[in-house]
Every structure is written in structure tokens, then in C-alpha cells.
A and B are shown apart, each in its own frame.
Chain A
Amino acid sequence: MAKNSNIDKSQVVIQMKDIVKKFGSFTANDHINLTVHKGEVHAILGENGAGKSTLMNVLYGLLTPTSGTIEINGQQVDIDSPDKAISLGIGMVHQHFMLVEPFTVTENIILGKEPVKGIVVDKKEARRQILELSEKYNLKVDPDAKIEDISVGMQQRVEILKVLYRGANILILDEPTASLTPQEITELMDIIKNLTADGKSVILITHKLKEIKFAADNCTIIRKGKYIDTVDVEETSEDDLAAMMVGRKVNFKVEKKEQEPGDLVLEVKNLHAKDYRGVEILKGLNLKVRKGEIVGLAGVDGNGQSQLIEIITGLSKAVSGEVIMSGENVVNKPPKYMFEKGITSIPEDRQKHGLVLDFSVAENLILQNFGKAPFSKHGILQKDKIMQHATKMIEKFDIRPVGCENRLAGHLSGGNQQKVIIAREVTNDAELLIAFNPTRGLDVGAIEFVHKYLVQQRNKNRAILLVSFELDEIMGLSDRIDVIFDGKIVGSVDGKDADENTLGYMMAGGKNE
């Protein structure tokens, strides 16, 4: 891929040397070096828990390093607070946005640095400045919209504007594409180019190799807190990057044996549903999933996937239509009923629906089965059994850190949180497993794990419904692919025959041409 790089090798803007950060006996950063030039896009690659965020928090003044030095524009500095970092021109866009939902875009951007006229906030001036910035870098936002009403992509642009508004020359983007649609990702890549063309430097924290190949000039790889290497992205293949990150060769292709699907497990018939605003979002959807097959539901976010899954799992209600599970129409039954009928799922939002973050790993592992033997007897929880179960699952699913039975789920990394959910859902011997964006925000090692597991479950003759916004994932795993658009299935193709163009075309609503 030809890259019109804006890197200016003569000017070093960030020089982090031998950064060590310890938390008690645990070393999160072990002598890490990082050099970023003016106009450079520098990717930081590492698995979940490798120490990327720690390093960035050190740079942003949220954590003080145990040892090591930081130079900004050639000056050695002591960054002891985010305020200091901002004054040095460093800005950070966090993975989870920090926006005030009921406030407008303008209000959010100027928050804490409001232009004033006398004693009142000069909203007009603020609006003008924001529009100017937004035009300069092609960051399209509606300055008067409320955050709660705008898309995730626009929220991210607001975060970037917030940082630019504070005069940042160095932007740290933490997993910026984790919650974006493919189209929004392309837009973001353009924005990054505009920024570097203006002499700004961008640090991209990610574990998506494609994006690194596409956008970054250089890439620093961190593994288990240790500095591995800094490489020129153009000269390094995706496979090599992955191998450096994980420490072994990664298998991107999922091996899948041929298999005839068996009996019908789930059938969705003519399903109609409305979203919370009362707008019809499912418009007569039909879907079938058989034993021993993975049905991939491809589509752009917002075409009714969430509502469909919420209805199948009992979380929300359909207006009309049927959900037939093993011959019984279970539409609009409560979640517990669905679960007992053999429907389990890896939910879309693992922190909201998948886990009780303030519960321990052990408790999360029995979230559905706490009332059954051997985990409870006469309404009393059996702590020994629960802990034994947790230890077994932690070992079997390689949930890290080892011995995390009593650790709060919220303190695990994203990939390990997902493993907890998978451990819980697949050990329920349910007939149907729904996986909704099961690898969102996970690193390649964890993705490989999840994919292998889904295929293994398929081979065990389970019916699997895979919903994903990642087309690669759908194409790599599915035996059959249904494309959802505007609340309906608009096309169905065999997994073997699928190609990106046809699917992409159907996902955008194109049917015959």
C-alpha cells in the first residue's frame, strides 16, 4: 500500500528511555524505549495486558514511572499530571470516551477551557473555533448536537477535537477503532493523515495489524511488559508483526473440516420489532440455524442485529413473528426461559451484559448456574465447589493472571474478560450458541483462541449464530452467511463462495446489479 508519509526524521518529539513501571512486585513496563518524530504515525502493538496502556499513562502523566526519562522536543521533562502533559502538547483519546452525555458537542469540547466574555461562557466564539478546527482536519461534527444523540464515530471525532482544542501536537489514540464501523475506520484513517500533514504526531495503540499496515510509519512492539523491537511498518509483514507480538507464530486461517449440518435448531419467522424510539427496526426477518453449522450474520452496525439478538435471548420483545427453538415458539419469553431452552450467548457488550464487573471471576462463572447443584444446596452457596469450578475453568481457558478466582472481573483485561464469558457460556451444554462480536477489542492471540473455540463447538454439532461487524471474521468462520440490511435478510451465500465485494455490496443495501 502506497503511503504518503509525512514523517520528518530530523525532529524527535518524544523520546522515552528505559521506562520502568512497577506495581508492587509486578513489573508492567520493563525498560521500554519509544522514539516518535514529527509528523509520524507510530503504532504501539501488544497483546491485552502487555503494558501499552501503562506506558501511555506514564506519558500522559496519569502514572509516575519507577525509573526512566522522558524528553519532549529535546527537553527532559517530569510529567506528573495530565495537566502537565496537556501543557506540553500531549493529548489522549481514551478507548472509552470521557464525554458528558447530556451536554452538546461544543460544551464537551470546551469543558475546562471555556472562552469567556466577562463572566459568561462565550458560546459563539467557542462554536467558531470548533468549526474552524473541524474544517481544517475534516473532522465532521455537529457542534450543537447532544452527545447522547450522535454516533460513536462522531463521539470519537469530538474527543479528537477536544484534544486539538487544547493545542495538542502529539495525539495518543487508545484503541481508536474498537467500536467503529468499517466506514468510520476509513474516515478515521483519513483524519490521521490530515493531522500528520499538519505536522502533528500520532501514537496509535492497537492490536489490529491491518490498521497498522495501513496507517502507521513505525511500530513498537511490547510483549509482557518488555520492549521487543521497533520496526518500519512498510518492511514488515502482518505475520511477522503478529509473531513478534504474541511470541510465536499465529495461525490466521481457521482450520475447518467439511461437515453436513444436522437438524434445525433455531428458526426465526417473519420477525417484526421496534427500537426504543418506536421506530420499526426489524421488518419481517427470517433466519435458520442448524446443528453443526456456523451461520454468520453480516451487516453494518444498526441494521437490527442488536434487536434480533435481544429478542432471541429474551431481553426485549418482538411486535410480531416467531422464534422457534427446537420446535417450540419461545418468542417474548423471559431470559431465564430462553436459557433453559438451550440458548446461550456471548453478548455484544461484555461489560454491560456479560459480566458483573464488581463480582469475582468465580462468581461470574456461575452467574446463570448459581442455583443449581453443585454450586448451591438448599439455597446456600457452596464456596468450595464454586472455587474448584473457577480453578478448573481458569486453567482450561487460560484465563490470566493465573489464580484470579477471587479477582474482580473488572480488573481483568478485555481478552481475559471475554474468556470468562466464553468459559461460562460454552460449558453450558446448550444447543444454540450466539456470539455477538465475540472478538471485539481482543488481540490476535485471544482472537485465535475464540475462533478455534467456535469452530470446535461447531464440530461438536452445536448450532452457532455468529453476528459480527468484522467481515473477515464472518468469512473465515461461517458455513453460511446471511446478510442483514434494514431489518431484513437481503441475501444468503455459502461460506465457501463468499467474496468481500458481493457481501459488501449487499451490506450496503444493493441487491440486484
Chain B
Amino acid sequence: MNKKSKIFNSNILYTFIAILIGFLVGAILLLAIGNDPVVAYSKLFSSVFSKPKYIVYSIVYASPLILTGLSVAFSFRTGVFNIGAEGQFVVGSLAACLCGIFLKLPAPLHVLVCVLAAAAAGIVWGAIVGFLKIKRGINEVLSYIMFNWIAFYLSNYVVNLKSVHRDGGGEATKNILESARMTAPKDIIKLTGCSDANWGIILAVVAALAIWFIMNKTTLGFQLRSVGYSKTAAEYAGISSNKIFLISMSISGALAGLGGAVQTLGMGERISQFATQEQYGFQGITVALIGSSHPIGCIFAGLFYGAMKYGGSKLTMVNVPQEVVNIIMGTIIIFVAITHVFKSLLTKNKGGQNE
């Protein structure tokens, strides 16, 4: 255990270096286009930390990202690349939204049903791809990407159904019922001044802890990890890799679906017609990479991304293009990837001591 935590620590170190380089590259680009990086970064910082309200907003932004990040990280651990978190997120939010509009249930129960519906939708979306993989041998990356677009147009179709579409202006669904909202208690909203404060973060943290527990403490996790590390050895030992892939892709789908529920029930209240993909799923890949595919790492990576997204949206106030945030995040990913290659080279060298 000691050794494992050491490896994890060193991951954190490398990740911090990557983040630092990301900001450096961002600063150089800002200079190049005639902006003062000090002004930009202090704005970014103050937009997140100067008021409790801002901090809470950053957390609200982070919650769905933690869940999609967990979804991707979980799939990585079992040897699958869930690039379909985007689609699972969309069907999850759609399921939550429809249950929120049409079901009439008492408050806490209504939320629970919506959340479960979202998870179920995500499971279905992930499991279909899983079935195609194990029954027909179709590479999951291809079907995941196709299912992202199927989810995209399905959602737009449903949004425009007469019974779902809102009356009056706006290309969106009706609002979900008050009983289905995940909003935090009034006192918290009043105290923090963040009208979108919601329970999403609790759900995300609980999900992360649950995933950590499943992966490390259960026989299911043992099988998931063994298939992820070595499909051949796992099969030799009698573990059915097909079954494990299906389970893993379903759980991964459920997590992304939960992300959709948190976004819709906590903040959105409704779903708008999409012009482009929402990106929550793809940003989940970033979160998973920054979080070293570790469930707890995903919490912090998600919080970081959430803060960057929220703070970034304020950059236009000092005439800095908010796209700089995307550049920083992209650079971080590149350097996280590079440092991991670097590290694997280093650890390989260390392995020589056994010979």
C-alpha cells in the first residue's frame, strides 16, 4: 500500500508540473496577442476565490465534470476508452428532464427517481456499445462516437416534441417541476449568494468514493482491474472478459448519465436544443487524465476544471478571450501525457534492479 501511495504521490507531482507549464504556455500566448497575463490570471483567480459565491459557483460547475471524469477514469482502469461519455451524459440529462417534467411525486423521491432514470439511460447507452463490442467485435471507440451523435439528435428531437417543448419563447423543453430540483436548502443559497447551489457535488463525491471502494475492495473490482491490466491472464484464470467489459461499460455509462442528471436537476432546469455538442463528456476525458484515472483524483481535477470554466467565463470583463482557458487545459493534457511517458521510462529503469 505504501508503494502504491508513493506512485500516486508522484503522479500528483507530475500533474502539478503539467498545470504549471499549462499556465506558462497560456501566459506566453496572452503576451503574444497583446494581453497582460498578470491581469488575466489575477482576474481568473479573483473570479474564483474572491467571494464565497464564486467558490460555490465553481463547485456547481465542477459537479457534472467530476461525474463524467469518473466515468472515463473508470473505463480507463478496465481497458476501455469511454469516449462516449458525451452521449451518455445527454441521454442521462434527457431522462432526468423528462421524469422531472412529467412525473408527479413528492420532493425528495422525485429527485431520486429522476437521478435513477438518468443512470439507467446512461447504462443502456453504454451497454449497447458494450454488446456491439463483445457480440460483434465492433471497436467501442467507433460506436461510442456514433452514439454521441445519436444521443445529440435524439435529444433535439425530443426537445421539439409538442408535449415536451416549452410554451412561449426559447428552443427548449418545459421546466422541470420544483419537486424534481436538486437545489440546496434556501439558507445555503442565501448564505452563499449562489442561486444555483445544489446537491450535485455530494452526489459526485459519494460516487467517487463508491467507485474507489468497488475498484479496490471488492471482487468485482478485482476482476475489472485484472481485465484492464491483462485481458489474457484474466481469461486464463477463468474471468470472463466479455462479462467484465459489459459491466464496466454499463457502470461507466451510469456515471456519465448521473452527470447529466446533476446538470439538469441542479442547474439547467430544462434542456435546450443543441447547436453543438455540450462537451461535458469530452471534458470528462480531460478530468480523468488530470486525475490520473484515480477516483479521488477526479474530484480534485473536476474542481479544478470547474473553477477554470467558471473563472474563464469572467475573462472577457478584462478584454481577455476566454478561449485561453481551453488552451491552458489542452497544454496541461499534453504535458500530463508527456510526463507519464517520462515517468514510465524512469520506472522501467528502476525495474532493472531485479535482474
Contacts of A410 in B (CB 8 A): 351
- Please indicate the chain A residues that have their CB under 8 angstroms from the CB of B2 in the complex: 406
- Taking the complex as formed, is A35 at the interface, i.e. its CB lies under 8 A from any CB of chain B? no
A28: chain B residues within 8 A (beta carbon): 352-353, 355
Asked if A367 contacts B352 (CB within 8 A), the reply is no
Q: Are the CB atoms of B351 and A359 closer together than 8 Å?
A: no
B237, closest chain A residue (CB): A367
For the complex, is B210 an interface residue (Cβ under 8 Å from A)? no
Inter-subunit contact B229/A368 (CB<8 Å): no
Name, among B3, B4, B222, B350, the residue most crowded by chain A CB atoms within 10 Å (CB to CB): B222
B230 touches A26 (CB 8 A): no
Contact A352 B222 (CB under 8 A): no
A49 and B354 contact, Cβ closer than 8 Å, known pairs A334-B238, A353-B232, A356-B230: yes
The answer to whether the Cβ of A380 comes within 8 Å of any Cβ in the partner chain is yes
Asked if B238 and A368 sit within 8 Å, CB to CB, the answer is yes
Considering only residues 324-355 of chain B, those with a C-beta below 8 Å from chain A are 349-355
Interface residues of B in 1-33 (CB under 8 A from A): 1-4
- A contact face: mostly helix, strand, loop, or mixed: loop
Interface string of B218-259 (1 = CB under 8 A from A): 111111011001101111111110000000000000000000
Chain B residue with Cβ nearest A46: B355
- A412 and B352 CA atoms in complex are apart in Å by 10
Task: Tell me whether chain B's interface is mostly helix, strand or loop, or mixed.
Answer: helix
Q: How far is the CA of A411 from the CA of B234 in the complex (A)?
A: 19
Please measure, in the bound complex, the distance between the C-alpha atom of A379 and the C-alpha atom of B222, giving whole angstroms.
10
B186 interface residue per 8 A CB criterion: no
Q: Across the interface, name the chain A residue whose C-beta is closest to B238.
A: A336
Residues of B with C-beta under 8 A to A313: 236
* Residue B162, interface by CB 8 Å: no
Q: Would you call A53 an interface residue if the criterion is a C-beta within 8 Å of the partner chain's C-beta atoms?
A: yes
Residues of A within 8 A of B239 (CB): 336
Contact for B229 among A62, A315, A353, A357, CB less than 8 A? A357
Q: Given A356-B229, A356-B234, A370-B222, is A381 in contact with B352 using a C-beta cutoff of 8 Å?
A: no
* Contact assessment for A62 and B218 in the assembled complex, using a CB-CB cutoff below 8 Å: no
Q: What's the count of A-B pairs with C-beta under 8 Å?
A: 98
B135: chain A residues at CB < 8 Å are none
Query: What is the distance, in angstroms, from B340's C-beta to the closest C-beta of chain A?
Result: 14
Q: Which of A334, A379, A407 contacts B218 (CB 8 A)?
A: A379
Q: Which B-chain residue is minimally distant from A368 (CB atoms)?
A: B237
Q: How large is the interface on A (under 10, 10 to 19, 20 to 34, 35 or more residues)?
A: 35 or more
Query: What are the interface flags for A397-432 relative to B under an 8 Å C-beta threshold, 1 for contact and 0 otherwise?
Result: 000000000110011110000000000000000000
Check B355 against A334 for contact (C-beta < 8 Å): no
Q: Known A354-B233, A367-B233, A370-B222; judge A411-B240 contact (CB<8 A).
A: no
In the bound assembly, the distance between CA atoms of A49 and B352 in angstroms comes to 10
Contact of B236 with A411 in the complex, beta carbons under 8 Å: no
Bound form: Cα–Cα A377–B220 in Å: 12
A381-B236 contact given A352-B230, A357-B229, CB 8 Å threshold: no
Q: A413 and B230 in contact (CB under 8 A), knowing A339-B238, A376-B219, A380-B217?
A: no
Residue of B nearest to A352 (CB): B232
- Chain B minimum-CB-distance residue to A52: B355
Chain A residues whose C-beta falls within 8 Å of the C-beta of B350 in the assembled complex: 23
Contact, CB under 8 Å: B217 / A412: no
Residue of chain B at shortest CB distance from A339: B238
Cα(A358)–Cα(B222), bound, Å: 12
A381:B229 contact, CB within 8 angstroms? no
Chain B positions within 8 Å of A23 at CB level: 350, 352-353
**Residue A65, interface by CB 8 Å:** no
Residue of A24, A359, A412 with most chain B CB atoms under a 10 A cut-off: A359
Given contacts A53-B355, A412-B354, contact A335 B226 (CB under 8 A): no
Q: Which residues from chain A contact B4 at a C-beta distance below 8 Å?
A: 406
Q: Is the CB–CB distance between A51 and B355 below 8 Å?
A: yes
* Min C-beta distance of B354 to chain A, whole Å: 5
Residue in B222, B236, B353 whose CB lies within 8 Å of A363: B222
Q: Across the interface, name the chain B residue whose C-beta is closest to A335.
A: B238
* Residues of chain B contacted by A407 (CB below 8 angstroms): 3
Q: How far is the CB of B146 from chain A (nearest CB, A)?
A: 27
Question: Given A315-B235, A353-B236, do A381 and B222 touch, yes or no (CB 8 Å)?
Answer: yes
Q: Cβ of A379: which chain B residues have Cβ within 8 Å of it?
A: 218-220
A459 to B355, CA, bound (A): 34
A interface footprint on B280-305 (CB within 8 Å = 1, 0 otherwise)? 00000000000000000000000000
Of the residues B220, B233, B238, contact of A356 by C-beta under 8 Å: B233
| CB nearest neighbor in A for B235 | A335
A358 lies within 8 A of B230 (CB): yes
* Chain A residues whose CB sits within 8 angstroms of the CB of B3 once the complex forms: 406-407
Task: Give Cα A126 to B3, complex, Å.
Answer: 48
CB pair A411 B354 closer than 8 Å? yes
A347 part of interface (Cβ distance < 8 Å) = yes
CB neighbours of A363 from chain B (8 A) = 222, 226
Interface string of A39-69 (1 = CB under 8 A from B): 0000000001101111001000011000000
B225 touches A359 (CB 8 A): yes
Nearest Cβ in chain B — how far from A426, in angstroms? Answer: 15
Q: 1/0 contact trace for B184-224 toward A, CB 8 Å?
A: 00000000000000000000000000000000011111110
Q: Within 8 Å of chain B (Cβ to Cβ): is A16?
A: no
Give every chain B residue within 8 A of A48 (Cβ-Cβ).
355
Chain A residue nearest to B3 in the complex (CB): A406
Q: A70 contacts the other chain (Cβ, under 8 Å)? A: no
Given contacts A356-B233, A357-B230, contact A53 B353 (CB under 8 A): no
Contact partners of A62 in chain B: CB under 8 A: 349, 352
The answer to the question of A182 belonging to the interface, with a C-beta cut-off of 8 Å to chain B, is no
User: In the assembled complex, which residues on chain B have CB atoms less than 8 Å from the CB atom of A347?
Assistant: 236
Q: How far apart sit A379 and B219, CA to CA, in the bound complex (Å)?
A: 5
Cβ-based interface call for A371 (8 A)? yes
How near does chain B come to A359, taking the closest CB pair, in angstroms? 6
Interfacial residues of chain A within 279-316, with CB under 8 A of chain B in the complex: 313, 315
A222-262: CB near B (< 8 Å → 1, else 0) gives: 00000000000000000000000000000000000000000
Chain A residues within 8 Å of B354, by CB: 49, 411-413
Cβ of A355 under 8 Å from chain B: yes
| B240: A residues at CB distance < 8 A | 334, 336
- Complex CA distance for A358 and B232, rounded to whole angstroms: 13
- 10 A–B contact pairs at CB < 8 A? A48-B355, A334-B238, A353-B232, A355-B230, A356-B233, A357-B233, A359-B229, A367-B233, A376-B218, A406-B1
Task: List 17 additional A-B contacts (Cβ < 8 Å) besides A359-B225, A367-B237, A371-B219.
Answer: A23-B350, A63-B352, A334-B238, A335-B236, A336-B238, A352-B230, A353-B233, A354-B233, A354-B236, A356-B229, A356-B234, A367-B233, A367-B234, A370-B222, A379-B218, A380-B217, A381-B217
Closest 7 A/B residue pairs (Cβ): A53-B355, A336-B238, A23-B353, A353-B236, A367-B237, A358-B229, A356-B230
